[in-house]
Amino acid sequence: MDAHIPKNKRLENERARQEP
C-alpha cells in the first residue's frame, strides 16, 4: 500500500496494474 500516494491516485494505479 502506498500511503504517501493519494487515494484517487492509488485507485488509478491499481486499475492500471490489472490492465494488460
3 or 8, higher pLDDT:
8
Average pLDDT score over residue span 6-13: 84
Report pLDDT for 18.
82
The single-letter DSSP state of residue 5 is: S
Read off the amino acid at residue 1.
Answer: M
Q: pLDDT at residue 14 above 80?
A: yes
Q: Alpha-carbon distance 6 to 16, whole Å?
A: 15
Q: Which pLDDT score is estimated for 4?
A: 77
The average pLDDT across 1-20 equals 78
